[in-house]
Amino acid sequence: MSVRVRFAPSPTGFVHIGSLRTALYNYLFAQKNNGKYILRVEDTDRNRYVEGAIEGMLTSMEWAGVNHDEGVVLNGENLEQKGDFGPYIQSERLDIYKEYINILLENGKAYYCFCSKERLDEVREEQREKGFTGGYDGHCRDLSKEEVEAKLEAGHPYVIRLKLPENKDIKFTDIVRGDVVVNTADLDDQVLMKSDGFPTYHFAVIVDDHLMGITHIIRGEEWLPSTPKHVYLYEAFGWDAPQYVHLPNILNSDHKKLSKRQGDVAVEDFLKKGYLPEGLVNYIALVGWSPEDNQEIFSMEELKEKFSLKRISKSGGVFDVNKLNWVNGHYIREASVDRITDLAIPYLIEAGYITEDDSKERYDWLKDLVSVLQDRISYVAEIKEKANIFFTPEIELKDDESKELIKVEHLPQLLDAFEAKVKEAEAIDEVFGKKVFKEIQKETGIKGPNLFKPIRVVLTGEVHGPDLPLVIKVLGSENIFKRIQYVRENLI
């Protein structure tokens, strides 16, 4: 049987970084096995539905390059569906669920429950006081056919629950967790259809996965406790269950589940900060999965080739922002200057350094600026901080060495010579930046580090950094004069 996997998010808000990883692993597994990757929208929880969440999720997945073969797609501003197993939105499949819930009712595998919310709350409170784990007490399990029909005719609100057998071991094998056995004594009769006529996740997911021919369920470990009920539902219908793969949680640095309280967790957060999709995808692939060798930088094609479910870890993976920045920084350095410049322009405008007109009229200059800083940023939004040296007359001395160099005895002589050369120059370009030091050396006898290190500190506040001739070109004569004046008045 050909591999068919699915990513089935609920449109309840932002796309969590863990959701991106789940989608990525499904996509990689399908790609490696020449299978199909389906994107299905599970919108049966109408109370948590967020307008625009589907569109936001599809935009994030397209940005990340995690593209599906079937399911819900965004065509311009319109939601559409492609594939032969639709509809791919659960709220459009209600008639299908009604058909299959009736099969369970007829076979005695499900039953009507007329318990009010007040009664259920009382039962839970009583269980809590006795130290029991909360669960439905089976009050309506054995209502007679006549009692059920009478309540239905009287218009009593109801849900439909799964009728689990008593004292039955439910067994399944998870590729990550191994063999799992749970007795029905530790489970309760799950609600399958809610009073509003919508199915719960636990029912709809079984019907949809079966009808869509899903062969592998790759999802987060938070669904592991519910899986025995899902396995029993397959058995109740007489269907073969798919293979289960439950992924470890993504953890904060304190080894607790990654949450928004500790920082960025949404794909949109990283997109807004100027992370590159290939950087985020490369890193997130390694949080919970490891290759057989020590390779850390992967293109999408390499991930498709090397990804294996058997290399997924049982234990949670820590989301290390520093490691993400290292990986993303690699891709920024590898990217073209044009690409990073185009990404950087909105941040430079936001910081007030340039205007929209500047971004067009001074584009070549902006490319030079970006090329100076490209090796020094981990994500594009960092350019707002790094570019400050090109837009203010002040410099900030970064370390003790720079503070020592700004005090060297020959600095006033150097500044006079450098300022004179800038005034004489027909153009402040890289050619000037390269020859000016040879000329100053010839005239003053100052050479090597004693020459260029103090000048670098005057221009940037740092002893080490980008190519100095390019820095001089980007600064231009006006900024160089302001920088020299600032140093003379404030630092010497």
Which residues belong to the active site? 260
Tokens of 436: 């000016």
Tell me: cis bond preceding 87? Omega within 30 of 0 counts. Answer: yes
Burial label, 259 (beta-carbon count in 10 A; 0-12, 13-18, 19+): exposed
Q: How many CA atoms lie within 13 A of 39 on its CB side?
A: 29
- Dist. CA 5–CA 310, nearest whole Å: 16
Instruction: Give, rounded to a whole angstrom, the gap between the first and last alpha carbons of the chain.
Output: 77
The number of angstroms, rounded, from the C-alpha of 486 to the middle of its chain's C-alpha atoms is 44
- Dist. CA 251–CA 265, nearest whole Å: 11
181: how many CB neighbours lie within 10 A of its CB?
9
Tokens of 438: 């040879």
